Amino acid sequence: MLKALLLLLGFLFVGIAAIGVVLPGLPTTPFLLLAAACFARSSERFYAWLLRNRVFGPMIRDWRETRSMSRRSKAIALASIVVVGGASVVFVIEHNVMKAVVAALLLCPIFIVSRVPTTERLVAAEVERGG
């Protein structure tokens, strides 16, 4: 029963992540990591499929191996937060107090994503150290 639930959740998270690839503002990586965790506990076949996936595999492998994001993924994530969040603040929200609250809340994911190490930087540092 638990395996079936984890498998179902894995596919749900992959679906949400796929939507996040094309819909700015919806994060992709956290849902991929959740899907990978569900598949790792429920189906070796689907876990391997996810890791081999051309779009999703590199993000999961980067996080699993180095706890990092590629420069491109970080740039897309930060740009999405700024563009979609900024558009919400400027065009959707009418009250100045709410604009300030939303703008302040947008700083949280910006801070979190910017603090995640960049894969390319980690790899370059490893090569520089001779490893």
Segment 36-94, tens digit of pLDDT:
999 999 999 999 999 999 988 998 998 889 999 999 888 888 888 888 889 989 999 99
Q: What is the pLDDT of residue 26?
A: 75
Report which of residues 22 and 129 the model is more confident about. 129
Tally the C-alpha atoms within 13 A of residue 9's C-alpha that lie toward its C-beta: 17
Conformational region of residue 26, where left means phi above 0, alpha means psi within -120 to 50, and beta covers everything else:
beta
Tally the C-alpha atoms within 13 A of residue 71's C-alpha that lie toward its C-beta: 5
Given CA atoms 14, 16, 18, 20 in this order, what sign does their dihedral have? Answer: negative
| pTM of the predicted model as reported, rounded to 2 decimal places | 0.72
Q: Whole-angstrom Cα distance, residue 122 to residue 35?
A: 25
Residue 39 near residue 46 (C-beta atoms within 8 A) = yes
Count the helix, strand and coil residues of the chain and give each as a percent rounded to the nearest 5.
80, 0, 15
